[in-house]
């Protein structure tokens, strides 16, 4: 079974503009990265979810309870609500169009609005994987 490393890097950029509405001047760049090493499982899918779904399970197999997803990227073209690990979870993210996270997730459940939604998900992890995060401290 292959073992690999997956990494996500992002930059938080803060712009300052003037009273004339120019494009702004970059005043702050905060780079951050997250990496999973020793991952033995990976899944990437892009599909269309129908409008009006409630707590629809999104497949991240072969990742799951015994081999959780640890590095997760989700992108949608319309806002959705996301629950993790249990469809009946009362705590959820609302109005999500892009979400990157590290942690342990075994299941993803999505509630769509009234539009069909393109949904892209990438997950990496496994039972022996480890996470590393890097971010600037103030």
Residue boundaries of the structural domains of the chain: 34-133
Residue 20's pLDDT is: 64
> How many helices (DSSP H) and strands (DSSP E) are in the chain?
0, 9
Residue 55's pLDDT is: 94
Given the structure tokens 């780079």, which residue do they identify?
Answer: 31
User: Taking the model in full, what pTM does it have?
Assistant: 0.84
Q: What class, spelled out in words, does domain 34-133 have in CATH?
A: mainly beta
pLDDT per position as a tens digit, 79-94? 999 999 889 888 899 9
Residue 100's pLDDT is: 94
- Tell me 85's DSSP state: S
pLDDT per position as a tens digit, 50-75? 999 999 999 899 998 899 999 999 99
Residue 90's pLDDT is: 83
């Amino acid at each position: 079974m292959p073992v690999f490393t997956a990494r996500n890097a992002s930059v938080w950029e803060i712009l300052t503009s003037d009273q004339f509405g120019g494009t702004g001047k970059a005043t702050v760049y905060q780079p951050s990265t997250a990496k999973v090493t020793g991952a033995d499982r990976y899944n990437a899918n892009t599909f269309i979810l129908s409008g009006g779904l409630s707590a629809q399970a999104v497949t991240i197999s072969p990742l799951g309870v015994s081999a959780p997803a640890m590095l997760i990227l989700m992108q949608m073209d319309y806002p959705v609500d996301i629950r993790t690990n249990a469809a009946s979870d009362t705590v959820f993210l609302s109005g999500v169009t892009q979400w990157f996270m590290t942690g342990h997730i075994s299941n993803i459940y999505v509630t769509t609005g009234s539009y069909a939604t393109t949904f892209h998900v990438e997950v990496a992890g496994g039972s022996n994987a480890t996470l590393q995060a890097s971010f600037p401290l103030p």
